[in-house]
Amino acid sequence: MKQLGRHLIVELTDCDMSRLNDERHLERAMKEAVRKAGATIVSSNFHRYNPQGVSGIVVIAESHLSIHTWPEYGYAALDLFTCGEAVDPYAAFDYLQQELGSASAEITEVKRGIPSEFDEVIHHKPMPSPALA
């Protein structure tokens, strides 16, 4: 695979229920996780459900981090998708696991990119301008 990014699919369990239902806390924590990973925030959007649960996404220049919570089960689902070699999605994971008080976690890492016979990490390249194409 010509790898463009890494996508961590995370199951956090035994989390602090009150933190999982606090929209403001989750948005602050997700933005701090972005900073810990070395990524650049573009925008964010969070929503609290009635009677409980929060979904949110932080769009980063290097892809996105998203969360969906089930406070009643002490569970949070995270997607930490980053591109580039300088960004560390595991730093975001470590911070969020601690911040949400999770006692256990399962992580699946998916390498994202272009199928190929050979494994390599490739770099983003600028698109040609329409005038030159």
Q: Which of 63, 102, 104, 123 is catalytic?
A: 63
Question: Which of 88-116 are b and which e, b meaning 16 or more Cβ less than 10 Å from the residue's Cβ?
Answer: bbebbbebbbebbebeebeeeeeeebeee
Is 83 assigned a catalytic role?
yes
Catalytic residue among 7, 25, 44, 68: 68
Contact 21, 69 (CB under 8 A): yes
Would you call 15 a catalytic residue per the annotation? no
Residue of 15, 64, 83, 102 with catalytic role: 83
Measured between alpha carbons, how far is 81 from 64 in angstroms, rounded to an integer?
5
- Pairing of β 104-114 and β 41-48: unpaired
Catalytic center residues: 63, 68, 83
